Structure 1
Amino acid sequence: MTGCRHHAHDILPRRARLKSGHEVEIRPVEERDGALIRDGFAHLSDQSRFMRFLATRGALSDAELARLTDAGDDDSLALGAVTQPDTTPVGLARFIRLDPAGPDAEMALTVVDAFQGQGAGRVLLETLAQAARGCGVTAFIALVHRDNHAMLGLLHSYGAVVEQGMAVDLELRLPLSSVPAI
């Protein structure tokens, strides 16, 4: 095993307790997780889908699901969080390096509505950042809808700054040195 998945296995699986008391396990997404991802996506409200994808969305296509469950390489990694012991989908976080030789990666994070506000986003972000640092990534770039106050608050709490503002979304840069190690 090489690359980012190798570094992720150094810290994963990781368990954490949410504010609700639910115990969650965070681990790399695998091909076998397709049904869990579809289930989690089905439990996102229209508003949550809009905030994540910056557009109205229906179900995930087979091609999108295949990209999410791809084992990854040195340039990307997806992590999923599920409750324990019943494996209810909680959230998904992913980064994709913008340039194979560069230190920046685009990141995205989604938390199922029932688990929003419980610390799942924070646990996923910290875990993703730890794995990304092990792969040589030094900053995340995130496109966030300007009305997604929860995500903006989370990123700002770690020192993210707006690099570019557009009509609907903001591009933020988060130095991974400002995210605590797990």
Structure 2
Amino acid sequence: MVPDDVVTYPTHWEADVVLRDGGTAHLRPILASDAEALQAFHVGQSERSTYFRFFAPLERLPDRDLAHFTQVDHQDRVALIAVAGEEGHEKIIAVGRYDRSGPGEAEVAFNVADDHHGRGLGSVLLEHLAAAARERGIRRFNAEVLPNNAAMIGVFREAGYVVRQHLDDGILAVSFDLDPTERSLAVMADREQ
């Protein structure tokens, strides 16, 4: 089903995924009409999770940011959400996004609902975002991560890509090429089992 508000909506990016604990979630590109659900997701996050994502306390997403996060072009700015629940009553449980930052590269970021940590949502979102990015000519992801955000650092390391990192003014700068490696292909194959 192609939503009315987006002509270029990439339906082939939608997927039902099995998570580490055997549960399922539906992945799909975000829509402008998801703004209210994204705000509810954000407000439901712990202060720690919000700080890890935005490097600052942020009780609510300002309208400007909410519009930026939900009004994407599915080319240079892509966001995928993981939702759970019945259609029409879906709840966002994770968000992954990238913004093209230069020729062939993009900044990537993730946020997983506190009560869904450890289920593999970050890894699944990374895998699907990497595939979408390669489709759009992006060959490298960059990210800025707080050094004590062990879960996010683990997602990058466990994905099977060759990860480069350095500390820059108290922030861990991470980058990796998106070309599949033997290890990343093995990680994807294991997830399919």
| Corresponding residue for residue 70 of structure 2 | 69
Sequence identity percentage: 28
User: Hey, what's the Cα distance between the residues in 2 that align with 1:97 and 1:22?
Assistant: 32
User: Hey, what's the Cα distance between the residues in 1 that align with 2:10 and 2:126?
Assistant: 13
User: Hey, what's the Cα distance between the residues in 2 that align with 1:128 and 1:137?
Assistant: 10
| Corresponding residue for residue 26 of structure 1 | 27
| Corresponding residue for residue 172 of structure 1 | 174
Q: Cα–Cα, structure 1 residues 164 and 7, in superposed 2: closer, same or farther, change >3 Å?
A: farther
| Corresponding residue for residue 14 of structure 1 | 15
3-state SS of the aligned residue for 1:79? Answer: strand
Letter in 2 for 1:19: R
Letter in 1 for 2:62: S
C-alpha displacement of 1:160? 4.6
TM-score normalised according to structure 1 size: 0.88
User: Hey, what's the Cα distance between the residues in 2 that align with 1:166 and 1:56?
Assistant: 21
| Corresponding residue for residue 57 of structure 1 | 58
Q: Cα–Cα, structure 1 residues 115 and 160, in superposed 2: closer, same or farther, change >3 Å?
A: farther
User: Hey, what's the Cα distance between the residues in 2 that align with 1:35 and 1:111?
Assistant: 17
Structure possessing the higher radius of gyration over alpha carbons = 2
User: Hey, what's the Cα distance between the residues in 2 that align with 1:164 and 1:96?
Assistant: 21
* CA deviation vs aligned residue, 1:30-54 (integer Å, no higher than 9, x gap): 0110111011111211000111111
The farther-off stretch of 21-30 and 137-146 is 21-30
- For residues 63-142 of structure 1, the aligned pairs below 5 Å read 63-85=64-86, 86-99=89-102, 102-142=103-143
**How big is the alpha-carbon RMSD for the aligned residues of Structure 1 and Structure 2?**
2.1
Q: Which 5+ residue runs of structure 2 have no aligned equivalent?
A: none
The farther-off stretch of 89-98 and 17-26 is 17-26
User: Hey, what's the Cα distance between the residues in 2 that align with 1:6 and 1:132?
Assistant: 15
C-alpha displacement of 1:73? 4.9
Mapped contact 1:103–1:136 kept (Cα < 8 A): yes
Q: Cα–Cα, structure 1 residues 58 and 7, in superposed 2: closer, same or farther, change >3 Å?
A: closer
User: Hey, what's the Cα distance between the residues in 1 that align with 2:37 and 2:169?
Assistant: 34
The farther-off stretch of 32-41 and 156-165 is 156-165
Count of aligned pairs: 176
